[in-house]
């Protein structure tokens, strides 16, 4: 992720999400707000998910690129559903930013893609190096005005 790629995510995005997780399948509404800080060295994200008959889910993410090694990472603070590790390592591939978080035998891969005025986010999960299974998909647009 380079500073220009982080800037592509800047702004407020709202849309619909499909979740197929441990709590079952449901549809939600998501709001993401991204902003760069410190001359583009960090990308901060605030996230809110609402769904009927479910508690509101919130998260705060800090994306960064190490200037020396070039390594990408994201740290998440979530409620509910915080994990023992909140760290994901990432790569930039064209228009995609891909982050992988590993906890024990389970790996989670989240892909952020911006195309024109649309943001797509997909999270997949694999257990013991198995096949990736989608557990979250979201499609978002920037509000007009």
Tens of pLDDT, residues 113-133: 998 889 999 999 998 878 999
pLDDT at residue 1 greater than cutoff 50: no
More confident residue, 81 or 11: 11
Residues in CB range of 53: below 8 A, 6 or more apart? none
Partners of 113 in beta bridges = 96, 120
Report whether 10 contacts 118 (CB < 8 A).
no
* Each residue's pLDDT tens digit, 44-101: 999 999 999 899 999 999 988 777 877 788 888 887 665 555 667 777 777 788 888 8
In the prediction, which pLDDT does 4 show? Answer: 63
Q: Which pair of structure tokens corresponds to residue 113?
A: 């893609």
Return the pLDDT at 45.
Answer: 94
- Is residue 119 within 8 Å of residue 9, measured between CB atoms? yes
pLDDT value of residue 2: 46
Q: In three state form, how does the secondary structure of the chain look?
A: CCHHHHHHHCEEEEEEEEEEECCEEEEEEEEEEEEEECCCCEEEEEEEEECCCCCCEEEEEEEEECCCCCCEEEEEEEECCCCCCCEEEEEEECCEEEEEEEECCEEEEEEEEEECCEEEEEEEEEECCCCCEEEEEEEEECCCC
Identify which has the larger pLDDT, 61 or 144: 61
Domains of the chain: 3-141 (2.40.128.20)
pTM: 0.87
């Amino acid at each position: 992720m380079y500073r220009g790629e982080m800037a592509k995510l800047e702004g407020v995005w709202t849309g619909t999400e499909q979740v197929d997780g441990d709590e079952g399948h449901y549809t939600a509404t998501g709001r993401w707000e991204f902003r760069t800080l410190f001359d583009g060295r960090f990308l901060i994200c605030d996230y809110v998910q609402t769904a009927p008959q479910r508690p509101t889910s919130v998260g705060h993410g800090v994306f960064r690129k190490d200037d020396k090694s070039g390594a990408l990472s994201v740290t998440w603070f979530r409620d509910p559903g915080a994990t023992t590790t909140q760290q994901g390592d990432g790569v930039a591939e064209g228009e995609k930013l891909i982050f992988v978080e590993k906890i024990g035998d389970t790996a989670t891969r989240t892909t952020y893609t911006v195309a024109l005025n649309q943001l797509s986010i997909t999270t997949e999960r694999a257990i013991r190096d198995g096949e990736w299974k989608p557990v979250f998909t979201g499609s978002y647009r920037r509000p007009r005005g």
